[in-house]
Amino acid sequence: MKSLSAIAVILLLTLSAFAQVERAHGPEFRAAGAALMCQCGCNQTISSCSMEHCHSAGPIREEIWDRIGNGESVAGIVEEFKERYGLVILSAPPTTGFHLTAWIMPIIAFVFGALVIGRVLRAWRQQTVAAAVVTPISAADRARIEKELQDLS
């Protein structure tokens, strides 16, 4: 009888461990964790913070797990954290209002840079190097140069 109860305890512990792993790797948890930044200074998302005993990621992960367990949506969870911590908790800037410039400016800068480089290259290609014009030396100048060369030697 003792061995049967021991097997039951081991089975329950194993199932609870699998439930923890599934809860930590579920698509809802991954989506919420990827949308939020850890506040410990590691510059990683909540789902990827690798700091042991992190004072920020641990409690936020627990809250995300609890809220997902209560049936809240990922968008609702992220919105609540945004209200609590501000925009600094978001892993990507919002795509509305002034924050849209964070998404658009890199594209504009790339296109502008490509246009400038294209114009510079086109201007360089169109430049023609003036060929050196060789003017013939007059007989008097040639005689003077020959005389000066003989005087030097």
Spell out the domain ranges in the chain.
2-92, 97-153
| Options 3.40.50.970, 3.30.70.260, 3.40.50.1980, 1.10.8.640; CATH of 2-92 | 1.10.8.640
pLDDT in tens, 103-131: 899 999 999 999 999 999 998 888 866 66
Q: Is the pTM of this model over 0.85?
A: no
pLDDT score, position 14: 65
Nearest Cα neighbor of 68 from 103, 108, 23 is: 23
pLDDT score, position 24: 52
User: What pLDDT score was predicted for residue 1?
Assistant: 61
User: Nearest 10 degrees: CA dihedral of 69, 75, 76, 80?
Assistant: 110
42: alpha, beta or left, given left = phi > 0 and alpha = psi -120 to 50? alpha
Residue 93: the pLDDT is: 82
User: Which residues in the chain land under pLDDT 50?
Assistant: 17, 21
Q: What is the pLDDT of residue 101?
A: 86
Do 77 and 64 contact (CB within 8 A), yes or no? yes
Q: For the purposes of burial, counting CB atoms within 10 Å of the CB of 132, is it exposed (0-12), middle (13-18) or buried (19 or more)? A: exposed
